[in-house]
């Protein structure tokens, strides 16, 4: 009888282990970015997201910080900020008003879902990033984000939002946009 109970417990544990891998994929933990300097930059510092595989350059003296697992990430697949060390703290401040000079946010899903709310009431024009058609949204609605520029495009079923905070360095933003690329396969 004890053997039957032990066998039943072992069977239950085995079933739980097997089923735990069959959960909802949307509940998977967010991707953690890891900086890589494998690709050089003629100007500035090199950054390569090791899981999403994009590469970009940002100004020398600036830092990059992965906020993907932070409460301020808002469910994004990835959130990486770029800016002077004093403007990019180790953790998202609790105040909720944190705007790094430049941020690359990646959200799962098609761009029209994310872009509709971003574009509403703001100025929209067309551009390209990494050869991919993108919308450039200049925030004109009143509020703390007024003056922000957000570039939105889709790549491999993810929506990329590259955001420049109000008053941030235009040359740094342009460097990042001009150098943004994906590996060719």
Q: How far apart are CA 57 and CA 178, in angstroms?
A: 9
What's the confidence (pLDDT) of residue 34?
Answer: 47
Is the whole-model pTM more than 0.75?
Answer: yes
- Cα 66 versus chain centre, distance: 8
pLDDT in tens, 54-105: 999 999 999 999 988 776 666 788 999 999 999 998 887 766 667 899 999 9
- CA dist list (Å): 75 to 69, 90, 170: 9, 19, 28
**Helix residue ranges, H only, the chain:** 2-20, 111-119, 170-179
User: Looking at per-residue confidence, does 55 or 38 come out higher?
Assistant: 55
């Amino acid at each position: 009888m004890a053997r039957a109970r032990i066998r039943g417990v072992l069977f239950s544990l085995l079933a739980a282990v097997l089923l735990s891998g069959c959960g909802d994929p949307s509940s998977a933990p967010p991707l953690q970015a890891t900086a890589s300097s494998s690709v050089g930059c003629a100007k500035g510092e090199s950054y390569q997201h090791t899981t999403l595989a994009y590469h970009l350059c940002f100004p020398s003296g600036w830092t990059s910080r992965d906020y993907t697992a932070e409460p301020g990430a808002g469910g994004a697949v990835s959130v990486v900020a770029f800016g002077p060390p004093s403007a990019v703290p180790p953790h998202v401040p609790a105040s909720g008003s944190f705007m790094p000079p430049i941020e690359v946010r990646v959200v799962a899903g098609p761009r029209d879902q994310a872009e509709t709310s971003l574009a509403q009431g703001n100025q929209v024009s067309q551009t390209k990033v990494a050869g991919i058609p993108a919308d450039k949204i200049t925030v004109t609605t009143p509020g703390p984000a007024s003056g922000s520029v957000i570039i939105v495009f889709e790549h491999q079923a993810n929506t990329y939002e590259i955001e420049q905070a109000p008053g941030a360095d235009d040359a740094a933003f342009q460097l990042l946009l001009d150098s943004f690329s994906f590996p060719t396969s």
